[in-house]
Amino acid sequence: MAEKTMRVRTLVHAISAVLSIVLVGANALVAQAAESNPIIIGLNADMSKGSAKGGEAIRRGIVLAMNEINAAGGVLGRQFELVVRDHRANPARGVDDMETFATTENLVAVVGGIHTPVALAQMDAIHRNKVIYLGSWAAGTPVVENGHDPNYVFRVSVRDEYAGGFLVDAARKKGYTRLGLLLWRTSWGRSNEKAMKAALAKHGLAPAGVQWFNSGQKDMSWEIDELIAAGSDVIMLVANTGEGVTAVREMAARPSEQKLPIISHWGITSGNFHADAIDVIANIDLTFLQTYSFFDPPFADRADRLFGAYCEAFGPCQSRAAVESPVGTAHAYDLVHLLRLAIEEAGTIDRPRVREAFERLGRHEGLVRVYDPPFTDTRHDALDATDFRLSRYDESGAIIPIVTR
């Protein structure tokens, strides 16, 4: 009997060993399948031209969120993988990129960059191919209010319709009533002209003057002369980095009686603005719009955790100033986590079903804010003016909020 019991035990152990080997192999196959069949997130942004710093900030936010999600087992048992295409701020290239993304196997969504003109040029390709577009920076109101039904655009960023009112109110709180608008001659500039004029009209005001500049313009002396002659007491600037440097240098060179303060939209922070204008920034009163700061975050514990992950992923950090263009990183990070939730809600990466899931997401405690809910079937902008603040550069080039929470 003892001998028989021993044989049974030996057999059981052998079977257990075989099953363990099979299970380990099966788990390895599952892990291998997850890695070999990833869910693709696209990034389409300027990665090499004047706003490349903004594009890289967005990429880093995506990577940080993907790292968290993948380390926790991924989504639907699969890993996220990022594919980047550089549109170089060129709308035609952006359209070609979107057509390429649309045919990419297992692609579920594309995160967009800072350029409203590129995003608007892509709208037909986005909706014709049913590609979910996650807006992480481009602020033009028509990017979301694009006339398409169903609408495949969801944004965690500024909306110019709200930014116009915020910037006008910020100018009025500083005592300015004669606002001169200095605007980039693009769809983004026109979106801001409309928003700021509407905001001024609510107070019975109109711009003191409106002047336009072109892409790559290196001299704005005439435009600023005209705004000064019109009686402007502040310049409301809508520019990206290169043209923003030109405007600031022109203002800094003025005699003191003509040197007007500048309140800018946030496009100037998408490139090497501080480095390119470091010798003149201290000579003017420059403030600009932001939505997020690691120096004054709405949720300190979440910011601390992500800052630690940022430094681990992208190199040693001397201070929180190491997070350049922080709004791009913060917005993209939250968008990827919202995408994860939408995929889980849909139970698939089928893009039309994920799009529908975005509209019925529940409360999510994000980095930038508590989204409750992030979107609805009639609202595809997750942020509003309560998320905005004015900031400025300090001597080191760090973006510092002016008013703490």
pLDDT, tens digit, 9 for 90 and up, residues 162-175? 999 999 999 999 99
Mean pLDDT of the chain: 93
Task: Provide the pLDDT for residue 404.
Answer: 45
Averaged over 108-135, what is the pLDDT?
Answer: 98
Question: Domain 39-158+297-385 is in which class?
Answer: alpha beta
Distance from C-alpha of 373 to C-alpha of 359, rounded to nearest angstrom: 9
Task: Provide the pLDDT for residue 24.
Answer: 42
Distance from C-alpha of 267 to C-alpha of 290, rounded to nearest angstrom: 10
Q: Residue 326: CB partners within 8 Å, gap ≥ 6?
A: 57, 290, 292, 293, 294, 399
| pLDDT tier for residue 21 given thresholds of 50, 70 and 90 | very low
pLDDT of 64-104, one tens digit each? Answer: 999 999 999 999 999 999 999 999 999 999 999 999 999 99
> CA torsion 55→116→399→161, rounded to 10°?
-150
| pLDDT tier for residue 271 given thresholds of 50, 70 and 90 | very high
Q: Which CATH architecture has domain 161-290+391-401?
A: 3-Layer(aba) Sandwich (3.40)
What does the domain layout of the chain look like in residue ranges? Answer: 39-158+297-385, 161-290+391-401
For the record, the structure tokens of 332 come out as: 């993209």
Cβ-based neighbour number of residue 259 at 10 Å? 15
Query: Of 214, 213, 223, 290, nearest to 260 (Cα)?
Result: 223
Averaged over 11-27, what is the pLDDT?
Answer: 49
| pLDDT tier for residue 36 given thresholds of 50, 70 and 90 | confident
Spatial contact of 116 and 143, defined as CB atoms under 8 Å apart: yes
Distance from C-alpha of 47 to C-alpha of 41, rounded to nearest angstrom: 16
pTM for the full predicted model: 0.90
Task: Provide the pLDDT for residue 11.
Answer: 52
For the record, the structure tokens of 118 come out as: 């590129």
CB burial string 316-344: b at 16+ within 10 A, e below: eeeebbbbbbbbbbbbbbbbbbbbbbbbe
Instruction: Write the burial class of residue 122 (CB in 10 Å: 0-12 exposed, 13-18 middle, 19+ buried).
Output: buried
| pLDDT tier for residue 17 given thresholds of 50, 70 and 90 | low
E strand or H helix that includes residue 212: strand 209-213
Q: What angle do CA 133, 150, 136 make, to 5 degrees?
A: 20
Task: Provide the pLDDT for residue 128.
Answer: 98
**Cα–Cα separations (whole angstroms), residue 150 to 105, 131, 346, 359:** 22, 11, 16, 11
Spatial contact of 364 and 138, defined as CB atoms under 8 Å apart: no
Given a cut of 50, whether residue 22 has pLDDT beyond it is no
Helix (H, G, I), strand (E, B) or coil at 24: helix
Which residue is associated with the tokens 């922070």? Answer: 269
Q: In one letter, which amino acid is 209?
A: G
Task: Provide the pLDDT for residue 368.
Answer: 98
Which residue is associated with the tokens 């510092």? Answer: 400
Task: Provide the pLDDT for residue 23.
Answer: 42
For the record, the structure tokens of 343 come out as: 């995929």
Q: Which of 4-18, 29-43, 327-341, 384-398 has the lowest mean pLDDT?
A: 4-18
pLDDT of 357-391, one tens digit each? Answer: 999 999 999 999 999 999 999 999 999 999 999 99
Given a cut of 60, whether residue 28 has pLDDT beyond it is no
The domains spanning 39-158+297-385 and 161-290+391-401 adopt the same CATH topology: yes
